[in-house]
Structures are given as C-alpha cells and as structure tokens.
Amino acid sequence: MTKSLVIVESPAKAKTINKYLGKDFKVMASMGHVRDLPKKNLGVSIEDNFEPQYITLPNKKNVVSDLKSEAKKADQVFLAPDPDREGEAICWHLQEAVIPKGKPVHRVLFNEITKKAVTAAIQKPLQVNMNLVDAQQARRILDRLVGYQISPILWQKVKGGISAGRVQSVALRMIVDRENEIRAFVSEEYWSFLAQLEGKLPPPFKARLVKWQDEAIRLGNKTAKRSIDNEELARTVEAALKQATFTIQDIKKKAKSQSAPPPFTTSKLQQEASRVLGFTVSRTMTLAQKLYEGIEIDGEPIGLITYMRTDSTRVSEEALAQVREYIGKNFAEPYLPEKARYFKQNKGAQDGHEAIRPSRVDLRPEDVAPYLDRSELRLYTLIWKRFVASQMEAKKMNETVLEIAADQGILEAKGLVTTFDGYSTLYTADKPVQDSESEEPTGELPNLSVGEQLHLLELKTEQNFTKPPARYNEASLVKALEENGIGRPSTYATIISTIQNRTYVEKQEGRFHPSDLGVLVTTLLVDAFPELMDIHYTAKMEDYLDQVERGEITWKGLLKDFYRGFENNLKQAEAEMPNMKRQGLVTDLPCEVCGSPTAIKNGKYGQFLSCTNYPECTFAKRIRDIDPETTQMSVLKSMINKEEPQIVEGMNCPECGGNLVKKRSKYGEFLACSNFPTCKYIHQEKVEVPCPKCQGEIRVRKSKRGKVFYGCSNYPKCDFVSWDKPSGKPCPQCHEPTTFYKERKQGTTQYCQKQDCNYSEQLSEVGVSD
C-alpha cells in the first residue's frame, strides 16, 4: 500500500522528485491544470456573484481517474505544483476534484528541485493558500469576461477568428502607439564636429564639439539651447575650427566604480537572453523550465536552477554563503567583497521566491555541459555567471574628461581606463542604449596639462538627422511591459505569441510592426473601451490582484467593481462600434468621385477605402495609395504605406518583360511585376538545390504568419517541406543528399535531418563572453 502520494504538474518534475523520496512515496503528474472554465461558453455566472463553472478538462479525464484511484489508496497526499498563483490554483483544483473528503492533504513548497529542498518541504508541509487561489481565480475570470465578451463583437464588426484580451490588447496598443509616434516624428537636421587631436605626447585622440558661443549644441535626439541646423552655419563653424588654436582649458579626473547587476528576475532573464543569446521570450521560458525541473547527472537527478518565475532579487543566506565560498576559492582575494551584497527590490515586487540562480553554484557550466543541449547550456551559463558575478567586487575605473577651447567652441574628450575588472572578469553587464551619434569614452588619454596647445590632425564635419523612437523588439517590449506594470513576467511569452498569432503584429528584422488589422482593432477598442485599454488602469488592476493575494480585498468584490463599468462599455460597443463589414470607419477624406465621406472597410485582402454612398457610388482605393498629407486621422496615417514600390535592378518579368518591384502583403515582402493587374506574375525565389525526394525545384515560401519555409515545386505530388534552408552539401556521416542550415541570431548550425543521424556542426556563433 502506498503510504503517501505526491502530485506535481509535470512528468519531468515527477521523475526527479520520485528519486529523492524513495519507496514510501509515489509521485504522479497532473499534466498541468485538471479543471478550467469551459471553452464553449462563458463559464461564469455573472448573476450568481461571478461564480465560476469549472469542468474537468476533456483531455484530463484519464489523468483525473488515475489520480483519484491512487489518492484513495494513499494515507496522505502532498500537493507540490510550482510555488506561484497558478501552482496554488492547481493544488486547489486537485483538492476539490481528486482527493477524497477527509483524506489528509498537505501543500509543499520548494524554490529549487534538490534533494535537500524537497525533503525539507515534505517535513514541514503547509495548507493550500486560498488568497493565492483567489488571486488566480480573479485573473482567470477577468480575462474570460474580457475575451469572451469583446471578441464576439469584433467577429461581428470586423472579421471572424480575431480576439481581444485584457492584457494582450494593451500590449498591442503600446506597439501601435509607438508606430504612431514614428509616423508623426518630424526629423530635424543638426551637424556634428569630431576633431582628431594630438598633444606633445602620444597617442592622438578624438574630441567632439559640445558648445558653440557658450551654448550647448544638439547631439543626437536630446534637445539643446543651440543647434547647428543647416550647412551654411556648419561650414562657418568648420572654417572657424580649422583656423582655431586648440587649448586644454580644464582637466577633470575622477575614480568611478560599476557594481555588479543583481541576479536575474524573470523579466531581466528574458531581456538579457534576447540581447545576448538571441532567444525569444517563449524559448527562454521553455529552456528555464527544463533546467528547473531537473536532469540526471551521474545517475543523480537535480534541478539546476531555482524557480524561474519571480520578480525578486532576494537570495537565501545559505546560497550567499555558498557563492562567497566559491568566489574565495576560485578568484583572487580582491574579487570577494568584505560582506555579502543585498539588492534593493523593485517597487511592487513579490518577495515570495528567490532570484533565479543555480541551485548549486559548484556545478559550473563546464561540469554540466555533457548533460545539456547547446541552448540549455548557454542559458544555464548566463544564469550561473550572472549569479556568481552579482556577489563579486565592483569594477573600478579612472575617468578623465578634457575640456578644450577652440575659437568660440568647446570640445570634450573622455577617457576611461579600467584599473580593476572586478565582476566583469566573469560577466559583462547589460549595455545601456546609446545615442548613435554620442561618443562612448575612449581608452587612455595622453598625459596633458592645462594650457597645453594641441595640433589638429583632422576635422570631421557630419550632417545628421534626429531619429524617431525605435520599434519594440522582444526585449524592449518586455522591459516596457514591466515598467508600466502590464501583466506579469510569467505571462509575457503568451502575450507576445498571441498578438503574433492573431496577425495583429509581424516581426521584421526582429522588431514588431503593427499590421493594418492590429491598428484598426486597437483604434476600435480604444474608442469603445477607453478604461480597459488604458495602460495605467491595467497596471492598477495588477495592484488589485496583489491586494487579493494579500487578503486585503475579496476576489468577487474586485470582479463586481470591474464589471460595473465594463458592462456599460459592452452595451455601447455592441450598439455604436462601426461595422467594418458594412459602413466601416468613417474618415476625414471625401470620395474622389462624388464627394461623399469615405470609410475604411475590411475586405478579403485587408483594409481599403470605400465611398459611404455605395452602391450608388462604387469608388474604392487601396489604403497604401492614399497621400498621408491629405488626412489627419492617426489610424489612417498608420495604415498608409508611404514608400513607393521599389524597382529591383537587373530583374525583369519573364512573362511581359516589365520591371519587378518589391511589394508588401499581410504575409510580408514579395516581388511582382510592375504591370499588375495587366500582368499578374509573382516571382518565387528558389534555392539552387534539387529536392531530396523528387529532384524538383525547391522554392522559398512564406507561411500565413510570414515565416519563411522551403517547399518542393511539385507539391502536392511531392510533400517535401523544411523550415531550414537546404545546403546542397551531402551529410558526411550518412550521405543523405543534402544537409540543412539552422540559422539563429546567435549563429548557424549545419545538420542532417535524417532521423537516426546525429550529424551537427556549428559554423558560427555568438555567445556569452567567457
């Protein structure tokens, strides 16, 4: 008879824990949630004080049956899902749906999956925390109320298959707002001056003009009292500098130090893995989950990192003692601070979990390398180095700033010399974003003295223009979501994947561009649900959920307060939101044929401009053909493609001889004949490698989400398809006719796709600095 049953949520975690606890315990996996709201209907009884109508998930009936059977036989049950709101909710649902009434049931919490942590948790069990459960229920029902009640309105008014979400729609709004900022940005001209100078002693160095006629001049996007904003003035300044005497006016020297960054929180790990490793947020979280749940090393299972969903930088005293001992043994004495370092928590951070760190600091990346695949190892290395570095001494530098007088100008040169590398011997800190025109400090400057005259070797005069804000990439979007209090780091991967799956945004060169559909839906939602789409309101809702977790307010009270205003907005949207399938969104542009107002409508191939006097007037026009100067509507400006189709040099249409031009569709960029619609030729790029199945042509294609893949020209007779580019080079091990290139931001791997062949060769890579 089984004495104790332990239930976790994943098989990998169950396998690891089972080996720790021995024969007196049986460990089983629930495979995530066993109950949830039904998919076919709202599943929330609004009239009955928002009572949820949970059902056993159809694909979990066998799992629940097995768990029930084992729970009946067990003396007691330990619930050990992850230590967060979702994990607590899984525990409660198991308690309600699986465990017989009256059976002793305990909640066990551990921050890392090691034998010591798991056995300690079993020895000191707790009860399910209903405040955490209630916070999860409140979030789940809020999301259901918004998604299931707004989405049908969008299906009716815009198109089927799209959706709205309490957090996803606000994240989309941030991307659309950024696009509107970029479209509205007016670039301003300014000129910069960079002098190459030399003193009595080498080496030569560079200095930048920072003042003219006692006023700071514009450098980059930062505003200044003075801007040298035209070529005539720039040439005047240039001539004066070329004739000037350059004299050292002031020398400032100071010691600087740079402290190590704290160990990772979830969002910082997501950002840094994107910046350094080129990982998407989703991939980072998947890999971190594997590292947390455990691998086998020399026959012993161990979770390699602590729990990966946290916004705390706190580290246990035991872990601090271990890492300080490691630094003391493996680095010279100056690298170990006198005392352990403690980090200030971010405002609103939940301190329930530690920061993300290795569970055992003595397991160095090289020690675990044989047991991990390349991506897992790179992420583990990043986490391990960041944690160890966080307890090392600061990096120390000497900074020298030279102030140089020349005619009516002041130039500045900066030198920065590292005197002690400190933590940076192991880990390079996050790089702040620099203005492209600003000069980073150079290395060591020559030994100079005040009053010394310098010789001008070269003067570089350059025309520049201020730049609009950059579009979001995954790392910067995560940072913006966190800074604005939108969602939780554990939800960021889902948010980002959802807005892409719905074709609201597309990635171009790693940055998010809103689609016409994304702009349109955002405009409609902001107008119909101004509070719900407000960034500050969404952040305030996160605070309310935290209050539920702390037991300060009730979850049903929160839902009641929310729904009071939301219900009114729903009724108004159903009645007043423009129907894009019928009358459309009325614009400020008159019809070019009859003068009636025009409206944006949603058609089979996207949005277009149509006369509201249809069918009497049949005027219609592609949005991208509209002159953006003729409208003041931000939504319309955001949809207009300002660029003319670009002619591709050296390529002509094989059917009519016309030019080929670059065009864009909702699936991305493609080449087509410039004589469309007379000629409907569309160029299909091909790879100069024969199909490995039938020897046909391999063509470059795009999925509905715009992702490139490779397929045979003989489809559907030949079903060859690959996400990765064929190389045309045979496999050196199994002699398959072609290997494939897997390209990522961090490098390219050549590998064989044959199932029983393990050939793989790294061609180039970018990784964590050693």
| Inter-residue long-range contacts of 99-103, CB under 8 Å, 24+ positions, other chains counted | 99/71, 100/68, 100/71, 100/72, 103/71, 103/72, 103/74, 103/76, 103/77
* Cα distance between residue 313 and residue 342, in whole Å: 8
Task: Specify burial of residue 117 (Cβ count, 10 A radius: 0-12, 13-18, 19+).
Answer: middle
Residues 395 and 240: beta-carbon distance below 8 Å: no
Q: What is the number of H-type helices and E-type strands within the chain? A: 18, 35
Q: Return all residues near 191 (Cβ < 8 A) that are at least 6 apart.
A: 228, 229, 231, 233, 234, 237, 461, 462, 463, 464
* Cα distance between residue 358 and residue 666, in whole Å: 43
* Cα distance between residue 91 and residue 46, in whole Å: 25
Q: Return all residues near 136 (Cβ < 8 A) that are at least 6 apart.
A: 85, 86, 88, 89
What's the farthest any 2 CA atoms get from each other in the chain?
96
**Active-site residue, 307 included:** yes
* Cα distance between residue 331 and residue 326, in whole Å: 8
Find the catalytic residue in 54, 307, 504, 751.
307
Question: What is the 8-class DSSP label of residue 99?
Answer: S
The position carrying tokens 């606000």 is: 170
* Cα distance between residue 92 and residue 36, in whole Å: 12
* Cα distance between residue 172 and residue 5, in whole Å: 44
* Cα distance between residue 661 and residue 647, in whole Å: 4
Residues 396 and 418: beta-carbon distance below 8 Å: yes
Q: Which residues of 497-530 are buried (b: 16+ CB within 10 A; e: fewer)?
A: ebbbebbbbbbeeebbbbbbbbbbbbbbbbbbbe
Nearest to 502 by CA among 193, 172, 756, 204: 172
What tokens were used for 225? 């009292």
Question: What is the 8-class DSSP label of residue 170?
Answer: H
**Active site (catalytic) residues:** 307
